[in-house]
Every structure is written in C-alpha cells, then in structure tokens.
C-alpha cells in the first residue's frame, strides 16, 4: 500500500494493487456544476505511476462507491482549478455506482 498526499502533506488516498482509493464527503466534495467527482491531478498521476488502473471513491456519508478507470479520467475528465490546486473532474454519468445494499449501476456512457 502507498499513501498519496497533497503537496501540503494531507492524505488524499491510497494505492493498493491497481486501485487508487479515495474517501470523500459527498455533500462537500461532489461538484454540483457540472455534477462530477474530482481528483487532484498530481495525485492521479502519482497513483498511476504506482500502478493504479482503477479509481474507487467512497462517499463516507452514505456508503456509495464510485468506480472508474484511470484511463476514463484522462479521456473524459475536465481540468480545472477552483483555488484548491489543479484537479481533473469526471462527470457522474461516467462512473459505475454502487449504493449501499444495491447492485452496481453501470456507467451510461
């Protein structure tokens, strides 16, 4: 396991095997316009360099899991900086979603 940190040392997530895992509070971290989940661009690059091929984001408020490939981020993500460093957002419709107690919902596109 490798821990991924921001430049200020704060933990962003971890890489285990080929999976980059990140925990968020959906009410605070899911973008509203456009609806998306973002990852620090440098963190995604670092995770990929450590062998990550998948991204799993857990919303700790409701237990929802979001799954996407690193490749999907690079191909369909959008880059932005809203004062928290360079990030890449992946629209919610690009994620596979598994809500607590329900089967996984496939991404629409």
102's CB contacts (< 8 A; 6+ apart) are none
Report the relative pairing of strands 31-32 and 35-40 from DSSP bridges. Answer: antiparallel
Alpha carbon 75 to chain centroid, angstroms: 14
H or E element, residue 28? helix 26-29
Query: What percent of the chain is predicted at pLDDT more than 90?
Result: 81
Contacts of 40 (CB under 8 A, 6+ apart): 6, 12, 85, 86, 87
Mean pLDDT of 12-18: 97
104 pLDDT exceeds 70?
no
Give me the count of residues in the chain: 109
What pairs with residue 38 in β-bridges?
Answer: 89
Q: What is the pLDDT of residues 49-100, one digit of tens each?
A: 999 999 999 999 999 999 999 999 999 999 999 888 899 999 999 999 998 8
Structure tokens at 72: 């999907």
Look at residue 30 in the predicted model and tell me its pLDDT. 96
Q: Which helix (H) or strand (E) holds 49?
A: helix 41-49
| Mean pLDDT over the full length of the chain | 93
- Can you give the pTM of this predicted structure? 0.90
Of residues 99 and 36, more confidence is placed in 36
Higher pLDDT, 105 or 93: 93
CB 58 within 8 A of CB 99: no
- Is the pLDDT at 13 greater than 50? The verdict is yes
Cα gap 62→71, rounded to integer Å: 27
């Amino acid at each position: 396991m490798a821990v991924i940190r921001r430049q200020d040392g704060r933990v962003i997530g971890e890489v285990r095997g080929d999976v980059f895992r990140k925990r968020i509070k959906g009410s605070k971290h899911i973008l509203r316009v456009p609806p998306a989940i973002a990852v620090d661009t440098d963190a995604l690059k670092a995770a990929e360099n450590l062998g990550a091929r998948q991204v799993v984001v857990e919303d700790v408020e409701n237990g929802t899991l979001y799954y996407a490939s690193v490749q999907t981020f690079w191909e369909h993500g959008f880059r932005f900086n809203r004062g928290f460093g360079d990030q890449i957002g992946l629209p919610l419709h690009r994620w596979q979603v598994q809500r607590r107690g329900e089967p996984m919902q496939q991404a629409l596109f």
